Each structure stands twice: as structure tokens, then as C-alpha cells.
A and B are shown apart, each in its own frame.
Chain A
Amino acid sequence: MMSAFEYVIWIPLLPLLTFLLLGLFNRFFKEPVSGYVGTSAMAVAWFLSLKTAITYFFDAGLQNGKYMPVEVFKLEWIKFHSGLSIDMGIMLDPVSVMMLVVVTTISFMVHFYSLGYMHDDEGFSRFYAYLSLFSFSMLSLVLATNLFQIYIFWELVGVSSFLLIGYYFTKPSAIRAAKKAFIVTRFADFFFLIGILMIGYFVGTFDIETLNGSQTIQWILQNQFPVFLGLSVITWALILIFIGGAGKSAMFPLHIWLPDAMEGPTPVSALIHAATMVVAGVFLVARLFPLFFHIEGGFALRVVAVVGTFSALFAAVIALTQEDIKRVLAYSTMSQIGYMMMALGVSGFEGMEGLGFTAGMFHLFTHAMFKALLFLVAGVVIHAVHSNLMKDMGGLHRYMPVSSWTFLIAALAISGIPPLAGFYSKDVILEAAFHYSFIIWLTGFIVAGLTAFYMFRLYFRIFHHREKTYAHPPREESNYMKIPLIFLAVLTFTVGWLFTPFSKYVSPTREAFHYHIHWTDPLVWGSMLIALSGIVAAWIFYYKPTAYPDKIAKSLGVLYTWTKNKFYVDEAYLFVTKKIIFDKISKPAAWFDRNIVDGMMDAIGNTTVWISEKIKPIQSGRLQEYAIYFIYGVVILIMAFYYMNYKM
């Protein structure tokens, strides 16, 4: 049983070796070689992941109708006491195997694509080293057996994200974006760490399987825990862990780093900031789903649902007005991740009630494919036009047919048009939400329409809209960039049909349930219709240049300005950090430190110097002066003795 999966360890290990090779011997690898090394390592890892998935789902995993987790190996690293230890290990279960496939597929495609995209770049080998580091950390994260292991690799993906956003380190804006991403996510990770430590303290284990086991949950439910603000500490721990996840997954209000992260090279945006790293938060909630669901009637899970739903709507509204194509995609990512969170949040546990969970995971799976595809196409376009802005584009369909068609497929998928991948995941999410709460369903429903609208706004404005003459006719240069597009487009087309089998494999209880889409259900028709109307609206507005967008923008007035400026969330952060924290707290604190604390230390030092200056002449080195002091001393002693013995 164990030995069947021993090769799994090579999946994270190969990128690590590549990273060490390319990172340490950076100078010996010239341009194409390092790319080939990285790409072939990823290809092997991808192949191994597919093999793992097939073996796990069809052969080894299923026991008594349940997918049991397989611990490939586990090393006890730091032991606190029996039960509580930090381990390093590899665990396979439906969620992690699915993540394994997602991460390696997208990573392999991006490695391949970068051979063309990063062509002639100075830091080519460095780029591949960073990509390998990221793949290693992300793969180890999804395979973790232990909450602390998740945390360690969580930080490591944060570092590689920082390195890759700041890849063009000569650009000040890139450095700022990298710093911002690191600080914001690090700030959220702080809460994550506290949450983990609280779990360790109160529950007494970091082991994910033990935590999710029904025994532990029963034990937690039967015991009384300290209560803070009306919620038990376990719920607080889960909320704190979710804050960590929200930071990485760019949920409101910790989303501010994601749009700026688009300063990184586009393949990086596709890999890290669209398909894999940003869904780590979703993965985290899914990992601890039994805890989230059972503790205190699932209060923490309701928080997840509300935050996810709000972020989905918030980001979709902002995406409507952005001009930079990568930023539109970034907000779209945030919105879709909100969708996933919402799906997890509305999910039940047993049987068909676990539909939300399955749908959320499936949306993660399909979203990775088409969002990566969208970003990769955006990369091709940016490469050809040398601009990120929509106003510099238009009519590109004629010049770049492959990009145009693949983008269209991805845009249809994300809008939720059958039979493409996005339709299945999105529709099931909406169905799950409908059974949970009408308001959440309605929000999700509106977001679906908005998504269709802004995606097609993007599509029409890049590839149609108007005929534009370009100084250099844009073209799709490299086959390295075209092949991943076509491959991912094929995946986008087909993975949707996997949903029926998928529901058999990934569910909260790990028990198979069968789900079929009911084509006659008005919900299905509703979500299809709203997507279609979004597309039609975008077609009317943007297929040819029209006056409607400007008119509507004018009539909305303040609302439009607010949306355009991303609801001033960045400015609010700046206000809080600069005006309040820096001016009101940090500066007085710094003043206190400089003048009072340092002043006291200086005073002690200066007094010592002053006193020593004053008494230094005593040590003149002249024997005769010493004799005088000696005599003074003797005289004083004599007087003292006299006074004591012959009191007057």
C-alpha cells in the first residue's frame, strides 16, 4: 500500500533539485539550457502526478466506498509531547491529489510557455530557478500532513511570489508591488500562525488527519473551551486561520496586493497569481473543512461564505472599469476565488449536501485551467503590442488568430457557457448557494452576469472593437507560447465533463456521491441566461466603438469614479498606515525612543565621562601628591576614631 506511492516524493523533490541546480550554478546555465532543465523536470513531475491521480482514484485509494488518505511517509521533526509534534510528510487524499494535478499541469505549461516569453531576458536562469522554487513549495504545501508543514511552505510560496513579482527589480513599481504583496500576505500569515498555535494549545495536535477525524471533533464538541466575545477559542482559531487564507487568496479586505502583483512577468501571474498560489486559501479551508463545518454550528464557515461572497461581488464590480488587461484578470481572479470560498461556505457535509464543497474544489480545478489560459493569452498580446492597456489594442483578431480563439474559449468558460468547463463548476456552486441562502445565491448570480460582461469587454476590446494600425504588425512569434495555449484550450473544453466523475472523488466525507446536472432546472437556465445577457451587453457596447460606455459612466457619476478607483481601498490603507499608524503612533514612539530612552542612556554615559574627567587629575603619577592624599586619609581616620572613642 505504502510502497505503491513511493515515487510521489519525487514530485516536490524534482523542482527542488532544479532550483538548487539553477540557483547555485546560475552562471553555468545559458539561456535555453536552464529552461530545458526546468521544463523537463516539471514534465516528469506532471507525468508522476497524473500517474498518482490515476493510481489513487481508480486503484489504491478507495476502501469500503471511501477514499482513505494515504500517508506516503512521515517524519517527526519537532516533538513537543505525545500527540503534538511538527511533522514533515506526504499525505495523499482526494483534495491533495487534485491539487497535485492542477499545480503540476499549470506549472508545466507555464515553464514551457516561458521558454518563448522570457526569450532574450537577462535573468532567464534566475527566472527558472524561482519558478522551480515556487513549484517545490506549492507541491509540498498541498501534500502536507501537518498544519505546521503547511505553514512553513505557505511562507515559502510567499517568498517565491515576492521574488517573482520583483523579478524586474530595476523597476521601482515592481519592487513596490513585491514589497506590498509580501507585507500584506505576511500580515495575514501572522494571524494564521496564531490560529495554528491556538489549535495546538487547545486541541493538542497539528496533524491534519487527527484534527479532521470524527473522534477529535466529538471531543471538541463535548468539551468546554474558553469563550471570547461569545465564540469559543476553537472558532476563533479557525477564523484566524481563515484570515491567513484570505491574505493569500486576496479576499476583501486583504486583496490589495493582488492587482499590484501583476508587475511580475505574465507567466508568473498565470501560475502564481491566478491558478495555484492564490487558491491556497481555498485549499486551506477545504483541508480543515470538517472542523470548519462542525465547530459551533459552522460559524467560521459562515464567515468564509460571507467574505467570499462579498469579495466576489466587490472584485467583479471593480473589474468592470479597469483599463489594464492584467488588472481586469487579477480582479476576475479575486472574484472567482470569492466564488470558491462561497461554495465552501455554503456547503453541507453528508452526501448530496456536500455539493458546495465538491463544486468549490471543481471550480478551483477548472478555474486554474481557464484563468491560466487567459493570462497566457494576455502575455502573448502584451508581448506583441508592448503595452498592458486596452487603449493600445483593438482589432488583433486578424493578426493573432490562435490567441483570439483560445481567449474566446477561456472567456466563454469563465462566463459559464456550456459545454465549457466553467459552466459546470459555476452552475453547481450557484445551485449549492441557492439551497443555503437566497441572498448569497442572488449575489453569485449577479456576479456571474458581471463576469460574463467584463470578460467579453476584455475580449472585444483586445481582439475586435476597431481596426488599429500598428507600427510593427503584431504577431504570435513563438511556438513555445502557442502550444500551451492550445493545450489549455483543449483542457478548458473538456474538463467540465469530468464533473460527474469528480463528484465521486472529491467530497467532504470522502464518500462518493453521484451528481448529474438537471438540464430542466430553472436555476441552470437562469445562470446560462445571465451569462448570455452579459455577453450580449458586452457585444453591444464594445464590439464596435460606441458611445454607450461613456454615457453610462457619466450617468453613474460618483459611483463610476469610485469603482474606477477601486473603491479607494488602497487609499484607505494608506490613510490608516500613514496618517494614523505612522504619524500618530510610530512617530511619537520614535521620538520617545530617540529622546527619552536614548537620552537616558546618553545621560548615564555622559555623566560617567564627566565624572571621570573630573577625577582623572587625582591619578597624576606624582608620588608626592599621593602622599598628601594618604596623609589626608590618615588625618580623617584619626579624627573619626577619636570622635567614636572619645565622644564629647
Chain B
Amino acid sequence: MEGISIQIVLTFTTILFFIGLYGFITRTNLIGILISLELMLNAEAVNFFVLNKYLFPGVLQGSVFSLFIIALAAAETALALAIIIQVYRMTGSVDVKEVKDLKH
């Protein structure tokens, strides 16, 4: 624990978050977008935990939030996958550019 400084951890999570953000913006595959979203969520979850651990060692709110995020991410993934399957059934593709029936 002592070996790793907070800067390194925050740098890691920032890189992770922006990889996710980049993926979220550039991907056209729905699955890819979902994965990128997960990356961002996980980066934040780690952030919460690390900041709690390093800056306010006496309390647990950060850790609890991390747990919440994990649970939320699981539920969200299930929901998103269900939607993606439905989309695939209707359009025969998981490309986000194909899904524009509701646009007009």
C-alpha cells in the first residue's frame, strides 16, 4: 500500500476514464460503447475508493459509493444488453448509425 503514491493511482484512473470517453465517442458498435461506458464507471469507482482511502482514512463513504457504482453498473449493463439484443432483433445490426427509427 505504501509503495504506490496517490498520484500514480489518479493518473491511472484518469487515463482509464479518458480511454473510456474516447471509446464512447468514437465507437459505432453498441457493445463497444457499453464497454467504454463500463471503463469510465470503473475509473470513477476506483477514484472514489482511492480518494477515500488516502485522504479521509477514518470514514467509509467513498468505499460505499464504489460499491453502489459497481451494483449500478451491473444493473445498467443488464438493461443495456437487453436493449441491444432487442435492437439487434429489429434491425439485424448493433451499429449505432443504423438505429435511427425514432429520430423523426
Contacts and interface: CB of A to CB of B under 8 A. Distances in A.
Interface of A: 621-624, 627-628, 631
Q: Which of A621, A623, A624 has the most CB of B within 10 A?
A: A624
B8 interface: no
Contacts of B103: 621
Interface residues of B, number: 11
B100 A624 contact: no
A622 B96 contact: yes
A631 B96 contact: no
B21 A631 contact: yes
Interface of B: 21, 24-27, 33, 96-97, 100, 102-103
List the 7 closest A-B pairs by CB distance, nearest first.
Answer: A621-B103, A624-B25, A627-B25, A628-B25, A627-B24, A621-B100, A624-B24
A631 B102 CA distance: 25
A631 B96 CA distance: 20
Nearest to A625: B25
Given A621-B103, A631-B21, 5 more contacts: A621-B100, A622-B96, A624-B26, A627-B21, A631-B25
Nearest to A619: B103
Contacts of A623: 96
Contacts of A631: 21, 25
A86 to B, nearest CB: 61
17 contacts: A621-B100, A621-B102, A621-B103, A622-B96, A623-B96, A624-B24, A624-B25, A624-B26, A624-B27, A624-B33, A624-B96, A627-B21, A627-B24, A627-B25, A628-B25, A631-B21, A631-B25
Nearest to B33: A624
B30 to A, nearest CB: 11
A370 B59 CA distance: 119
Nearest to B24: A627
A628 B26 CA distance: 10
Nearest to A623: B96
A420 to B, nearest CB: 91
A387 B87 CA distance: 90
Contacts of B33: 624
Contacts of B27: 624
A622 B33 CA distance: 13
Contacts of A622: 96-97
A623 to B, nearest CB: 8
A634 to B, nearest CB: 10
Nearest to B26: A624
Contacts of B24: 624, 627
Contacts of A628: 25
Nearest to B21: A631
Nearest to A620: B103
B90 to A, nearest CB: 17
A624 B21 CA distance: 10
Contacts of B26: 624
A284 B73 CA distance: 94
Contacts of A624: 24-27, 33, 96
Contacts of B21: 627, 631
B79 to A, nearest CB: 15
Nearest to B104: A621
Contacts of B100: 621
A627 B25 CA distance: 7
A17 B21 CA distance: 87
A624 B27 CA distance: 9
B3 to A, nearest CB: 32
A623 B24 CA distance: 10
A631 B22 CA distance: 11
A332 to B, nearest CB: 79
A406 B103 CA distance: 91
A623 B80 CA distance: 14
